[in-house]
Structure 1
């Protein structure tokens, strides 16, 4: 795993100062502490920070062909590089290293952008072709690895793995974009089609950008998408076997490394499945690690210990306090943009623990999105069935009733009648967008100044979900919700969280449950094989019964929960009250201080539940302070 950065002039091929590229890559040293490299030519410069994983003695970057006509700076891993290499060697390519990076050079020569379809991996790379004087920026199918870019005032396109690489360039201008603040407060993260910094773009997952000399910067081109419109045929038993084979192949391909390798083990279904299949493929004990919490309601370490004992892993546990919010400023630094998924605190701690003994760790991320594991999918599917038989006039009555029904944030979701009534009154996409979001539109807009609301106009954080679900290659509402999460939630929240927290401690995290072949297979499963009997991931759990105990397979899902609501009534109560006096928030001209004060007081007194919104405002304030002073 690595960090990349660089510059390209699509107009006049101006000289590139190596020191500028080096400064951009030095800002990413945490992503690659094992080595650095810079390569420049007229109109282009590529930089690299290396975390050595494969071919430790070779594989230095930027890497060039022997003729020097193709040069690449690459972040990620190509899991099928040996098969791609064999195919290229059969075509006459001559390799000089054992690195997966070199397949990109020869693959570009052989297939051009068709190379991307042959790669199974996580990656973001910049590849320069001296013959055509073009630069290819490419990102993997699911968006595991990030890539940011911006056009500068001197005509250059700057790019980097993280925004802090762009910030290191002296011509980059820091201007905030309030529409991204609306997106952040609505969703809890700044999505991939937005940035808190005006002018910064994120290359979307499954896209490439081909920059050519003498031509304007084009729009990115989609080279892959997940399709929920097809349906697999076959019995449940046959599909179980196919699912297990996909999982087995994905796990084994991600166990190739020349450095110590292990796994995160939470005690949930997904990480336990990964550990089970790693143990099946490994002669030595698998190294696993778990974070335990000092409050039983948040602690899963006992279930992790059960799996560790079952598969005789080399298991390590570190207990942390449930009020472990001392990491806030560390996270603000590493995420650059505001990020409000408080489970990032626990994710950072487990990455920190893993890095003590391994350089690569496999995670269980991805199965919930692929196989409908989140509870919100179950509720959305049920609501969609009701919507399909309700006349619009009746749904309007539900909306009117929902608006006057008392709010019950404390109740389990099935008992929150207000939430359900309002959801049934909405169109499916709009209802799901609110369900997956954090701070609802009415609360957000009550915090904004008149000037801020005017700036937004018709822009709403939820709109992208509504539009994505409307255009999704899908058959039903469940398909559309999962597809939208693949486009927004997964790259914006889950993968950003894992990339930034793992890279902060120079750890490579790999996600076998996001192998694109597994994802494509899962998308074809009938809805009844994803959700059945109130259980998400139904087929996966059934297929794993020979591997995992039922008390792990069928226990309620927990995840890395963090008690932010309790924090703002205890240890962070003063922080919440201080938000209303914040010079950063008040000085932005976006927020009404009295509205923030009222929110904090309602939460502190217990009259209302605003914990997640207060967490968002605190993370926003600290991010804005760091970025803009």
Structure 2
């Protein structure tokens, strides 16, 4: 796990500013505290910060081939690098190290940009090919590792592992992208390929770029997508057996490291499954890491302890104060753009704990997306059953009217929020799902934004993100379609971003075996009714795991990394919230309706309405503005 940066002069006639490249590289020192190197030649420079995990003695980067005409910087891990090495040696390549990065370098020499089809791992890398005068960038299949880039007006192409790395370049404008602001207040993050800034981008999951000298634009190309190609029907027992075999193999392939390795153990299904498979593969006790909360309503540590005891792990647990809200400014520095997932706080804490004991940790992320584990999938499919029975010509006017007339009840459980349900039923599958996952519904954003900002948006709405992906979806099955939307947006934009930044803040590498792309492909081929079976999310996954985990671990209600957000904003954070929501820094942007901001704050603090999610997003946006204004 590392940090990479680079500058490429597409005009080909300027020396690279070493000092600028060095600042870019050092801005992400936390990603690789062990070593740092720069490589420059006419019109190109690369930088690398290293967190040593494999081949500690000789895995330094940037790495250059024997002929010194191909140079690479690489962030991540290639799990099949040993198999690739055997194949490449048979083709005549000579290896000087035992690192996975050298296998990747020679894979490019052998197969060019199509080398990505041979890779199994999490990666973001850049390769300079002097003979072809091309810079080649690629990001792993599901987007575990990040890559940011920009083609500057002066012809310089800059890239890096974090947004802050390219933002250090003086030529990159900090003008905010209005559409990204709209996306953020709908989703709570800025979805790929955009960033909050006008001319800075994220390379999407499963995408690559080949940019040649003289290029006037950058055109990413998709090389992989979640297929959702239905497999032939098979007996459940066969599927369960294959599922366990595949999870075991994915876990085993990701436990290769020359440094201490462990696993997060929340006590949930996914992390417990990973630990169970690790324990069976490893003769030594697995190191497990867990945090709990001092409030039983939010604490799942007893289930983590149960799994740890069953598998004899060396378990490290830490109890965190439920009022652990002192990280707000820290999060602003970490994420570089507004990020409103409040579970970033406990994620930061568990990474902090893990780094005291290990350098690499396995995580259970990805199981919910592949096997329909989120509660929102159940709600969406319940709504879909109504859509299927009521014609759109009747459904839209009837439920649309009911949605307008019914009082808002944010305080009630989701199943009793009839206003939200009626509004969703008036929409089609994609629009209904967007309405269900938005942290701030259309009607609230319409009141939040100023008239001048709405004119600047020119009619753009964040629903276009979903509609764009849905138009390219390989499936029209309703459940598979919304899973596909999550793979394109929520997973890379929120979940993987959250873990990457929190982990790298502590120089910790996190691996995600349930997001091995071959496993994701296989899981996507399973029938939807065995993923969400009888209203039970992750049905087939849980059935397969019954010999390995207790009924309580598998079938209790999912909690996740919840925090008491509504209570924080009414209690100890209320003055901070009021100051942020009405701050000159926020209001001077001209984007917001001050009157509605004041109403939201007053009504939430008084307890008459629950605006916790919208107000947290406002608080984190103001934090981003403040941190960004103070960043050199």
What TM-score does the superposition give when structure 2 sets the normalisation length? Answer: 0.98
* 4+ residue runs over 6 A deviation: none
- Which structure 2 residues correspond to residues 368-447 of structure 1 after superposition, within 5 A? 368-395=368-395, 396-447=397-448
Aligned-pair distance for 1:389?
A: 2.0
1:232 and 1:526 in contact (8 A); partners too? no
Q: How far apart, in 2, do the equivalents of 1:274 and 1:398 lie?
A: 43
CA contact (8 A) 2:4 2:49 kept: yes
Q: Between 270-279 and 461-470, report the one with greater CA deviation.
A: 461-470
Q: How do 1:226-241 and structure 2 match up within 5 A?
A: 226-241=226-241
Matched, 1:292 2:276: no
Pairs within 5 Å for 1:607-626: 607-626=608-627
TM-aligned CA deviation for residue 515 of structure 1: 0.6
**What is the deviation of 1:517?**
1.1
Aligned equivalent of 2:478: 477
Q: CA deviation at 1:548?
A: 0.4
Encode CA deviations 1:223-246: one digit per residue, 9 max, x unaligned. 000112423431111111111111
Give 1:580 deviation, angstroms: 4.0
Q: Which residue of 2 is the match for residue 359 of structure 1?
A: 359
Partner of 1:148: 148
Question: Residue 316 and residue 322 in structure 1: after superposition, are their counterparts in 2 closer, same or farther (change >3 A)?
Answer: same
1:351 to partner: Cα distance = 0.2
Q: SS in structure 1 opposite 2:128?
A: strand
Distance 2:316 2:460 in 1: 47
- Secondary structure of the equivalent of 2:559? coil
1:118 maps to what in 2? 118
SS in 2 for 1:297: coil
**Structure 1: distance between partners of 2:629 and 2:458:** 24
Alpha carbons 2:409, 2:419 under 8 Å: kept: yes
Q: SS in structure 2 opposite 1:123? A: strand
Q: Distance in 2 between matches of 1:528 and 1:116?
A: 33
Are 2:581 and 2:618, in contact at CA under 8 Å, matched by a contact in 1? no
Contact 1:2 1:74 in 2 (8 A): yes
What's 2:30 paired with? 30
Q: CA RMSD in A?
A: 1.1
Q: Secondary structure at the match of 2:588?
A: helix
- Structure 1 distance, partners of 2:451, 2:299, is 44
Structure 1 position 510 matched with structure 2 position 505:
no
SS in structure 1 opposite 2:411? Answer: coil
Whether the 8 Å CA contact 1:10–1:217 is kept in 2: the answer is no
Shift of residue 576, structure 1, vs aligned partner: 2.1
Match of 2:463 in 1: 462
**Superposition deviation, residue 7 in structure 1:** 0.3
- 1:44 corresponds in structure 2 to 44
Q: Residues 246 and 517 of structure 1 are in contact (CA less than 8 Å); yes or no, is this contact kept in structure 2?
A: no
Q: Tell me how far apart the structure 2 counterparts of residues 541 and 194 of structure 1 sit (CA, whole Å).
A: 36
CA deviation map 1:128-148 (0-9, x unaligned) = 111111110110000100011
3-state SS, counterpart of residue 198 of structure 2: coil
Q: Deviations over 1:267-286 (max 9, x none)?
A: 00000000000000111110
- Mapped partners of 2:512, 2:119: distance in 1: 15
CA deviations over 1:153-207 (Å, ceiling 9, x no partner)? 4310010101111122222222122221111110000111221111001111100
Is the 1:446–1:595 Cα contact (8 Å) retained in structure 2? yes
1:57-116 Cα offsets, whole Å, 9 max, x none, are: 001000011111111000000011001111111111111100000012111111111110
Tell me what 1:104 maps to. Answer: 104
Contact in 2 for aligned 1:13/1:44 (Cα 8 Å): no
Partner of 2:69: 69
* 1:493-532 C-alpha deviation (Å, 9 max, x unpaired): 0000000000000000000010111100111111111011
Corresponding residue for residue 322 of structure 2:
322
Question: Runs of 5+ in structure 1 lacking a partner?
Answer: none
Matched, 1:603 2:604: yes
Q: Distance in 1 between matches of 2:382 and 2:582?
A: 44
